[in-house]
Amino acid sequence: MRAFVLNKYKELLQEVDVPEPGVGEHDVLVQVKAAGLNQLDEKIRQGEFKQVLPYRLPLILGNDLAGVVVGVGAKVRSFKPGDEVFARPDKDRIGTFAEQIAVAEADLAIKPASISMDEAGSLPLVALTAWQALVERGKVGPGQKVLIHAGAGGVGSIAIQLAKYLGAAVATTVSAGNADFVRELGADVVIDYRTEDFAEILHGYDLVLDSLGGENLERSLKVLKPGGKAIGISGPPDPGFAQELGANAVLKGAVALISAGIRRKARRLGVTYEFLFMRANGSQLREIAALIDAGEIRPVVGRVVPFDQTPDVLAELDKGGVRGKTVVSH
């Protein structure tokens, strides 16, 4: 089958012919119809995560999929051939830039009935990121104030809608051209990051979801009220992440050092910082699918490209300019 493979960090993906995936007894074989492109894919391609996610190359990239079940393992009970599904495969079993992929039954969910394959393919990674940040870790509820950076992007556009559904007041940072767009998604306060300083304007927030890192993350700590929390999805990784990975003592120490500065600054301000590397979760995807079919959340697909264009479009992802997600369609 056709697949796009990373042979060497920082090089473009190469199209190769690879064997069809093996299917374990708890696996579901899916014919991929659409795959979202994510910043995570590009960061892996650039080698940014090789210390903490030591993938063995060559590697089929891709972290999002929507498709059709074509086979199931002997012990699979929840899916059958012909089912339309979507998923973010486990981090150790990525590879959606291919014609087929075997996904663990526990990581898969039935596709929302009200949306297209391309829209479903855009969702799993960003929707699970938003869910795990806002629901699982942030425990966001009515009356709380949430700042979501880069609100017009893949994670931001879903997180704004989810935060509003949970009852929060939402602020976001975007360029002026995206202000009306994020207001339509539900943002209450919209800050033009090019002309306005969010850290001077916003105060007393319960949660910040930061996808930019660096100085933006540091300044985000200042908008939090005492006891508030900043969740970063671009890093730096923290000791909790190393624990999740089951890292050895050396790696745990290195990861703790990487995030020591930001955690120290957070402590001084009476707030906390956590790194979130979202995980695959089929049951959470089912809850998200129900919200989509109920009209509470809508996917935002800014661009759909043919499968053949995967390498070039992935390499251009950092240039931005696309609202929501870019999706590769078969």
Taking the model in full, what pTM does it have?
0.96
- 246 pLDDT band, cuts 50/70/90, is confident
Among residues 64, 81, 63, the alpha carbon closest in space to that of 72 is found at: 81
Per-residue pLDDT for 52 more than 80? no
Please write the tens of the pLDDT for every residue from 120-177: 999 999 999 999 999 999 999 999 999 999 999 999 999 999 999 999 999 999 999 9
Which letter does DSSP use for residue 187 in this model? -
Q: Which of 7-11, 14-18, 158-162, 233-237 has the lowest mean pLDDT?
A: 233-237
Instruction: Return all residues near 165 (Cβ < 8 A) that are at least 6 apart.
Output: 291, 296, 297
Q: First CA to last CA across the chain, in angstroms?
A: 13
Q: Which of 73-77, 175-179, 257-261 has the lowest mean pLDDT?
A: 257-261
Domains and CATH numbers, the chain: 2-123+299-329 (3.90.180.10), 125-275 (3.40.50.720)
Cis peptide before 81 (omega within 30 of 0): no
CA separation for the pair 171, 151 (Å, rounded): 9
